Amino acid sequence: EDQVTQSPEALRLQEGESSSLNCSYTVSGLRGLFWYRQDPGKGPEFLFTLYSAGEEKEKERLKATLTKKESFLHITAPKPEDSATYLCARLTGGGNKLTFGTGTQLKVEL
């Protein structure tokens, strides 16, 4: 069974304090790994897709990387507006079904 495990569950950072969020997944047949951002009361918003080990993608202060067993979301010099829950998901089975992790709740303080 495809599983996705995220850590930590919650993370509190000071503005400018860089860190990384982890997403580990069951290895068999990864077809795609996704990162989403979710703000309170809203739907998940797409950030990145990664398809193969070694792949990296960047957007502003965020960089997503993928190895053969885990993915990292690196946050460089975060700002308070980066506060949100970050969700990791993998394609599972056939078609476009996603299996989600439980998320990391990030709070960035001044």
Q: Which stretch binds another protein (CB under 8 A): 35-43, 53-61, 67-75, 76-84?
A: 35-43
Calpha distance 86→92 (Å, rounded):
19
Residue 40 interacts with another protein (CB under 8 A)? no
Residue 23 interacts with another protein (CB under 8 A)? no
Calpha distance 74→65 (Å, rounded):
8
What HEC string does 66-93 produce? ECCCEEEEEECCCCHHHCEEEEEEEECC
Residues 56-75 touching another protein, rule: CB under 8 A, are none
Nearer to another protein, 59 or 97 (CB): 97
Find the binder of another protein among 24, 55, 74, 100 (CB under 8 A): 100
Residue 95 interacts with another protein (CB under 8 A)? yes
Residues with Cβ within 8 Å of residue 3, at least 6 apart in sequence: 25, 26, 99
> Which spans of this chain sit near another protein (rule: CB under 8 A)?
4, 31-32, 34, 36, 41-46, 49, 87, 89, 91, 95-103
